[in-house]
Chain A
Amino acid sequence: MKKQGTNKSNYGSTLRAMAVIGLLLTVIGIMAFGVNNSDTPKVGAESPLPVVKKDSIASVKAFKQVYTVLTSARCMNCHPSGNIPLQGDDSHLHTMSPQRGIDGKGIYAMKCANCHQAINTPGLHTPPGNPNWHLPPANMKMVFQGRTPHQLAKQLIDPKQNGNKDFKKLIAHADDGLVLSGWNPGEGRTLPPMSYAAFKKAWITWLSTGAYAPKGK
C-alpha cells in the first residue's frame, strides 16, 4: 500500500511538472508569435497564404487599382504588345529597337544587361538597373499593352499565359525584384500611380477574393 501511495504521489508530481512546462511553452510560443507578427514584413519573406473568400465586388474593385499600376509606364513598358520594349512616361518604342529574344533578355549585341546594370545608372533618363532586367520570354509574353481590364485579369490567372503560376506563385510574384523596381525607376521617370504597399494590398485582395475579372470584353 505504502509503495502504491508513493507511486501515486510521484505520478501527481510528474503531471504538475508537465503542466507547468506546457504552460511555459505556450506562453513562450504566444510571445514568439506576437513578436514575429509585430515585425514589418520583409520583401520576399515567406508569409502565410491568405484565405480565399470569394467576393466579386471587392475583387473587381481591387483589380481596378491593380490595372492602373500594371498599365502605367513603369510596368507596361516591359510588357509590350510587340517584341520591342517601350520607354519613357509616354511609352514610346525603346530607342535602338532592342528585341525580346527567346528568353526575354535580348539578342546578339543587344542584350538588356549590356546597358542595364544591376542598379540604376546615375543621371537623368539613363538606363535603369536591376540584376535580372528582362522582358517576359517569347513563349509567355504576358502583354499588358492594349489589354482591357477584363482581358488582363483573365490573362493573369490563366496558367497557360502566366508562366504556369498558381495562386501561391501569383501572390509571391508581388515580391519579385523586377516588380519592385517599378518603384525605383531612376531619375526622370514618374512612379506608378500608388505606393508599392497599396499595390501589393490590392493585388492580394484581388486574388484572395476570387480573382474576378471586371465585366466587358
Chain B
Amino acid sequence: MTNITVNGKQHQIDADPNMPLLWVIRDIIGLTGTKYGCGVAQCGACVVHLNGEAVRSCVTKLSRVQAQQVVTIEGLSANNDHPVQLAWNEEQVPQCGYCHSGQIMSAAVLLRENPNPNDADIDAGMAGNICRCGTYQRIRKAIHSAAEMQRKGGASK
C-alpha cells in the first residue's frame, strides 16, 4: 500500500510500486486532466508537480511518491484562477488542447522560480513541452501575461 497526497487529499494506493504515477492518477484516482503523450519522458503532456517540481508522471514510479505531495492540473488552483490558467484563457492558447495541462504545470514552475521571465527564459523553461499544434507563440505570450498578472497582484498564487 502506498500513501500519497494528490491535490491535498490523501490516498492509499494498492498497486504495484513500479506503476507509473500517471496510471495511478488517471486510472485509480480518476483525475484525467493529466494526459498520456509519449510514455518515455519526451513530450511533457503528463507533467504534474511532485513537491513543487514539474516531474513527468509517465516515468515516475508510484514508489517515488510515497508520502509525497502531488498536484495535478485539477489541483493547481481552487477556482481555475492560477495566473497561468487565467492567461491561457485570456490568450486562447490551446488548439487541440491535449498538451496543455502539461504546458500549464510547467509554466507554473517557471513563473514561481522566475517571476519576470524574458523570451529566452521561457524558451529554456518550456523546451521540454511539445505542442503538436505549434501554439508556441501563444504559450510564450500567455506566460508573459501571467507574469504581469502576478506582478500586479491579481493572481491567486
A interface, CB within 8 angstroms of B? 95-99, 107-111, 113-115, 117-118, 121, 123, 125-127
Contact = CB atoms under 8 A, between A and B. Distances in A.
B35 to A, nearest CB: 16
Given A109-B47, A121-B41, A115 B127 contact: no
Given A108-B109, A108-B113, A121-B59, A113 B125 contact: no
B124 interface: yes
Nearest to A97: B127
Given A109-B109, A110-B124, A117 B42 contact: no
Overall SS of chain A's interface: loop
Interface of B: 40-42, 47, 53-56, 59-61, 64, 105-107, 109-110, 113-114, 121, 124-129
Task: Report which residue of A96, A98, A125 has the largest number of chain B beta carbons within 10 angstroms of its beta carbon.
Answer: A96
A108 B125 contact: yes
A129 B105 CA distance: 23
A123 B40 contact: yes
Contacts of B54: 108-109, 111, 114
B37 to A, nearest CB: 13
Given A95-B42, A123-B40, A110 B55 contact: no
Given A109-B109, A127-B41, A114 B56 contact: yes
Contacts of B129: 109
Given A113-B55, A114-B53, A107 B60 contact: no
Contact of B53 (A113, A121, A125, A127): A113
A40 to B, nearest CB: 29
